Structure 1
Amino acid sequence: MKVMIVDDELPARERLSSLLESMDDCQVVATASNGIQAVRLAQEQEPDIVLMDIRMPGMDGLEAARHIADMATPPAVIFVTAYEEHAFEAFETHAVGYLLKPVRRERLQEALDQARRPNRAQIGHLRNPATGGKKQARGHICARVRGNLELIPLECVHYFQADQKYVTVRHDGGEVLIEESLKALEEEFADGFLRIHRNALVARDRFGAMEKNAQGGFEVVLKHTAERLEVSRRHVAQVRRFLKSL
């Protein structure tokens, strides 16, 4: 089995590597110190199993696992945590597996054996992990570009615009398409984005002004780019209130 280790602490990565080296059927193909590295290396190395720390700076293990689950053939993820109550709250029902630090060889072997054949419920859990309440908002948007996953930091996103079954994500580096509903994005990112139309959400920090167009309707002018997006009649008052609050 090809295994990838993800932990922000070097001693933890070294301990897991040492334990895996003592097992005949395991090969460590990559190590990562944060979630962003984990997503990129998972695509490059295509591991069978990922041993993933939960609490890491930047992108934590929960979000990284959600992005990794979008791979064509996602690896099984075993979460590694020092917080037993957190593991039970998040993964008790559909966990691929979890280990408590410090990791013991016997428990690691058991978890690896259980993770060899993750069932549909387990994979589904990675796509929509139960976090005991409202799902924590992601820090990145994940898009499939030419067969690879591309991570876009949320602070770089200008707006989301729906077009039939796809949503265009306009960001600092261009634009990509994702297969997510605008409603779900609005619920997840309500603190950072505002709906201006049934087909558009705009990042709150990208609003420049709202102006009338030649047809008598309203448009939002985005900061820095001067790009314009239509505001529907039902959302004009809400956008006006927001702009006045700035």
Structure 2
Amino acid sequence: MTDGYGLKVLAVDDEPPALDELAFLLGRDDRVSEVQTCGSATQALRLLRDGAFDLVLLDIAMPGLSGLELARVLRQFRQSPAVVFVTAHAHHAVDAFDLRAVDYLLKPVHEDRLREAIDRVRDEPAGHDPDEQVAVELAGVTRFVRRSEVRYASAQGDYVRLHTATENPLVRMPLAALEQRWAEAGFVRIHRSLLVSLDHVDEVRLGGARPTVVVAGIELPVSRRHVPDVRSLVRRTRNGEA
């Protein structure tokens, strides 16, 4: 969203103090032109049907229709607004990931973190998926890994290990599900247990007896059955078709 106009934002939370604080912080951001607030997802749905919003800041745990349920409804809109979840419950992050939320803020919301979320909304081209985040557990703490940071993913039973420049966390998700979700973002299946990001591939070696790709200096095997797909995708990427 980079059309030069301010964002029209709807903030939804059933706790008045939290809602007032969110509205206050949004009002301090000169990239936001209008802020409306409401105390339930049901009321928010009526507002969203009557008028267009660029961004919905959405609490998750609310009486009646939950924030997650509202987000699922918004996915069916012809022109759905960007969604940023604002919640005290980190364990909902996986569901937020499934719904392709732009960001996931934990209460209490800090102004700099809110500004970062709005940056992401404004930088996201219309019709494109955001740079998704995956919730991972490290030493009992929930962290969020951006899709763009993942160089490749490897299957480990019912889990997937995400390989980034700094860490290799585990996520409880089948590799096939991650492949389907991230295909349009340039992730390619090269082996039954490996998914790589074309953005991080340094070399492709498909002509020899042992086909491989090199990612950040690491040589990864390409199975024979995946060689044609990898070659086709690399060719399309070089020609600017993907």
Which protein is bigger by CA-based radius of gyration?
A: 1
Question: What is the TM-score with the length of structure 1 in the denominator?
Answer: 0.49
Question: What is the TM-score with the length of structure 2 in the denominator?
Answer: 0.50
